[in-house]
């Protein structure tokens, strides 16, 4: 887990699941964008000391959205540094114990959707450390950066953009690896791709958010998942994704989104039939039946032997 400088003003810390960004130049004020899953606080503190010195303390912690792999270590760090945590006001219900996110959709297609069945669906409670991002787009603790509202993957998802270095921190509005193919997950080859499908509840919004990010024409992108990318490939990749946005053909949110407001989730479409548990149950039943047949045949066999040995006596 190493800290890499992405641009002079942005460093990335890669964790097992999600990326974390330390934004600001050494010697000046800085903020933390996203915090990884629970258990990363120590590593983040070490990385911050490495880049900003022994008494490193950010101006604020910012969250692109509240999914556990981005908000998991936020509270521990906020308490340690005594700083506030900022997220969009529409993420508040999911970061204050008021609402769960819309249920995940393992039927949205692709390798990661299939695997998502095994991921826990718990939310994080940030208590009174949580603040709403200021309306209007300014970013607490940073000059020259703006936040952009990019919902679809999460109701209050935001991305952060700095025009001077033309650098975009996209969160999960789009990512730089292909989670839909098993190969993409293993090799992590850089590629601008749709948001993680099983946790995306509104594909129209998700598409519009990618269009908005494409319009920024960034020269560098750091997303929640995947390697940072640089140069003309970034704007081109975003434009391609915006033009040919791969909506899922099936799944719970394929035709109708979930809805949410400042109180949390207000509507979810009915679940679609998921054959995987049925297949697993059928395989289990078949195995049990086979076991019973084997046990029964063994019993008959031993009875026969018993009868034979009684005969011979
Ligand atoms: Zn997410
Ligand atoms: Zn994520």
pLDDT digits (tens, 9 = 90+) for 29-49: 999 999 999 999 999 999 999
Alpha carbon of 227 to ligand 2 centroid (Å):
13
Which of the residue ranges 60-69, 116-125, 178-187 has the most confident prediction, judged by mean pLDDT? 60-69
Average pLDDT value for the chain:
91
The closest ligand to the CA of 154 turns out to be 1
The closest ligand to the CA of 157 turns out to be 1
Strand partners, 194: none
Which of the residue ranges 102-116, 248-262, 268-282 has the most confident prediction, judged by mean pLDDT? 248-262
The closest ligand to the CA of 19 turns out to be 2
For 226, the 3-state DSSP assignment is strand
The confidence score (pLDDT) of residue 239 equals 98
Alpha carbon of 1 to ligand 1 centroid (Å):
21
Q: How far apart are CA 70 and CA 171, in angstroms?
A: 9
The token duo for 239 is: 């434009």
Choice between 183 and 146, residue whose per-residue pLDDT is larger:
146
The closest ligand to the CA of 200 turns out to be 1
pLDDT digits (tens, 9 = 90+) for 128-167: 999 999 999 999 999 999 999 999 999 999 999 999 999 9
Alpha carbon of 288 to ligand 1 centroid (Å):
39
Alpha carbon of 191 to ligand 1 centroid (Å):
17
Whether the pLDDT of residue 313 is over 50: the answer is no
Q: Are 108 and 271 in contact (CB under 8 A)?
A: no
Whether the pLDDT of residue 206 is over 60: the answer is yes
CB atoms within 10 A of CB 31: 21
Alpha carbon of 172 to ligand 1 centroid (Å):
5
Alpha carbon of 240 to ligand 2 centroid (Å):
22
Residues 2-28 have a mean pLDDT of: 95
Residues 213-232 have a mean pLDDT of: 98
For the chain, the straight-line distance linking the first and the last C-alpha, in angstroms and rounded, comes to 75
The confidence score (pLDDT) of residue 302 equals 60
Whether the pLDDT of residue 64 is over 60: the answer is yes
| DSSP assignment of 25-76 | -TTS--EEE---STT-HHHHHHHHHHHH-TT---S-EE-S---HHHHTTHHH
Alpha carbon of 154 to ligand 1 centroid (Å):
7
Alpha carbon of 143 to ligand 2 centroid (Å):
26
Alpha carbon of 67 to ligand 2 centroid (Å):
7
Strands 229-230 and 220-223: antiparallel
Alpha carbon of 174 to ligand 1 centroid (Å):
10
The closest ligand to the CA of 199 turns out to be 1
Alpha carbon of 196 to ligand 1 centroid (Å):
7
Q: Which of 52-66, 114-128, 211-225 has the lowest mean pLDDT?
A: 114-128
Q: Are 78 and 31 in contact (CB under 8 A)?
A: no
Residues 218-226 have a mean pLDDT of: 98
Alpha carbon of 70 to ligand 1 centroid (Å):
7
Choice between 54 and 119, residue whose per-residue pLDDT is larger:
54
Alpha carbon of 209 to ligand 2 centroid (Å):
16
Whether the pLDDT of residue 75 is over 90: the answer is yes
Alpha carbon of 171 to ligand 1 centroid (Å):
7
DSSP E strands in 127-281: the ranges are 130-132, 145-149, 158-162, 167-171, 220-223, 229-230, 259-261, 264-267
Alpha carbon of 288 to ligand 2 centroid (Å):
39
pLDDT digits (tens, 9 = 90+) for 258-307: 999 999 999 999 998 877 666 666 666 777 777 766 676 666 666 555 55
Residues 162-173 have a mean pLDDT of: 97
The token duo for 296 is: 């029964």
Percent of the chain exceeding pLDDT 70 equals 89
Alpha carbon of 140 to ligand 2 centroid (Å):
22
Alpha carbon of 206 to ligand 2 centroid (Å):
14
Choice between 94 and 1, residue whose per-residue pLDDT is larger:
94
The confidence score (pLDDT) of residue 288 equals 73
Choice between 2 and 131, residue whose per-residue pLDDT is larger:
131
């Amino acid at each position: 887990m190493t800290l890499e400088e992405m641009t002079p003003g942005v460093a990335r810390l890669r964790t097992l699941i999600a990326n974390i960004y330390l934004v600001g130049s050494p010697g000046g004020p800085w903020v933390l964008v996203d915090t990884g899953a629970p258990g990363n606080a120590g590593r983040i503190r070490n990385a911050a000391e490495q880049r900003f010195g022994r008494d490193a303390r950010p101006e604020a912690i910012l969250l692109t959205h509240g999914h556990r792999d981005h908000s998991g270590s936020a509270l521990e760090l906020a308490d340690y540094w005594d700083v506030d945590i900022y997220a969009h006001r529409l993420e508040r219900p999911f970061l204050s114990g008021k609402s769960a996110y819309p249920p995940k959709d393992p039927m949205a297609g692709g390798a990661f959707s299939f695997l998502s069945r095994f991921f826990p669906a718990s939310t994080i409670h940030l208590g009174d450390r949580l603040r709403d991002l200021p309306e209007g787009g300014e970013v607490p603790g940073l000059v020259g950066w703006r936040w952009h509202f990019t919902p679809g993957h999460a109701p209050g998802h935001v991305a952060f953009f700095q025009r001077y270095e033309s650098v975009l921190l996209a969160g999960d509005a789009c990512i730089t690896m292909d989670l839909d193919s098993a190969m993409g997950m293993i090799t992590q080859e850089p590629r601008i791709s749709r948001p993680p499908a099983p946790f995306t509840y509104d594909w129209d919004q998700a598409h519009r958010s990618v269009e908005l990010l494409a319009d920024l024409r960034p020269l560098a992108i750091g997303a929640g998942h995947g390697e940072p990318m640089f140069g003309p490939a970034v704007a081109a990749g975003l434009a391609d994704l915006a033009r040919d946005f791969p909506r899922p053909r099936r799944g719970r949110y394929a035709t109708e989104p979930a809805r949410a407001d400042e109180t949390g989730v207000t509507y979810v479409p009915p679940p679609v039939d998921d054959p995987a548990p049925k297949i697993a149950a059928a395989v289990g039943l078949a195995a049990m039946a086979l076991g019973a047949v084997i046990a029964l045949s063994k019993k008959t066999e031993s009875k026969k032997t018993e009868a034979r040995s009684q005969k011979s006596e």
